[in-house]
Amino acid sequence: MEMFFADESAQRTCRRGGMGPVFGVGGVLVEESGIQPLAKALDDIAIEFGIPKGEELKWSPAKKSWIRENLTVERTNCYRQVLEAAANHRAKVIVVCDDTARTVHDPDAAFQICLTYLIERLNMNLEDRDSRALIVVDRPGGGKTEEDKFLSYFLRTVQEGAEYVLPNRLMLNVLTAPSDMVRHLQLADIITGVVTAMVAGNDTYAATLFPYIKPLFIMNRAGGIAGTGLKIVPDSTRRDSLVNLYHWVLGDNFLHKSGGAISYRLPAPGYPFENDPLA
């Protein structure tokens, strides 16, 4: 049994021209044997940096939070150690990002798009390894009504399946927990925040940490991350496809589809961001 700790992130403005807002849903998959040791490792890192008990590790700490006010220069070093701890405990990462300017303009719809692709990829990975998992997410901040709506998205997707996959490897409906009490959810927050920022081109702070996340992405059978560990929507053959971002964000030179039966060389001519998007 494994556990997938999930969170969401958003970049309201994007450095890449013509994009945004970008919405992301993602997280970290941890084997049962690594859950408690990873939590202890994250607690130890927090203690090392003097972070008070009950203070959350967050990619974008709230104003007047202890981390924002006290962990300025050392924050990157702290989060680097957090990501190294994830690697040491064999954690795996899946993130889905949706450019709402190209797909939908409604946050709820963007969440459902990302969730569908996320569950599809998670289930396929579990199936390949003959494993099963529970999903744990941060408890929504909008009260019981918001939490019920949030849970219904997950339940409907798990019961009805994604576009190509019936998620038979996911046990129960999603479980919610307060993120201030679960270090793994805080790890998911950092990972999803960094990856969403990189896709949006807002890499001022994210670029330093992204190399520690990249080795954690799950891969497809052809050995690529593009479209599997990181899914960017849209990445189809439509003319506004963001397929080339797989090259600029991940360094992947191919996008493999249909289990590796079809491969597209990247960057693909004639699509947005054929050339370096941050040049």
Q: How open is the CA angle 21-192-210, to the nearest 5 degrees?
A: 105
Q: Which pLDDT belongs to residue 104?
A: 81
pLDDT confidence of residue 236: 86
The enclosing H or E element of 46 equals helix 32-48
Q: What is the mean pLDDT of each run of 10 residues along the chain (279 residues)?
A: 94 92 96 97 98 95 94 95 98 97 84 90 94 88 59 66 67 83 97 97 96 97 93 91 96 82 87 82
The full set of domain ranges for the chain reads: 2-218
- CATH class of the 2-218 domain in this structure: alpha beta
Question: What integer pLDDT is reported at residue 237 of this predicted model?
Answer: 82
156-184 per-position pLDDT tens digit = 666 665 555 567 888 877 888 889 999 99
The confidence score (pLDDT) of residue 167 equals 76
3-state SS of 120-154 is HHHHHHHHHCCCCEEEEEECCCCHHHHHHHHHHHH
For the chain, the distance separating the N- and C-terminal CA atoms, rounded to the nearest angstrom, is: 45
C-alpha distance from residue 29 to each of 12, 38, 43, 99 (Å): 27, 12, 18, 24
Question: Element (H or E) spanning 94, and its range?
Answer: strand 92-99
Taking only the tens place, the pLDDT of each residue in 12-39 is 999 998 898 999 999 999 999 999 999 9
Asked if residues 246 and 276 have their Cβ atoms less than 8 Å apart, the reply is no
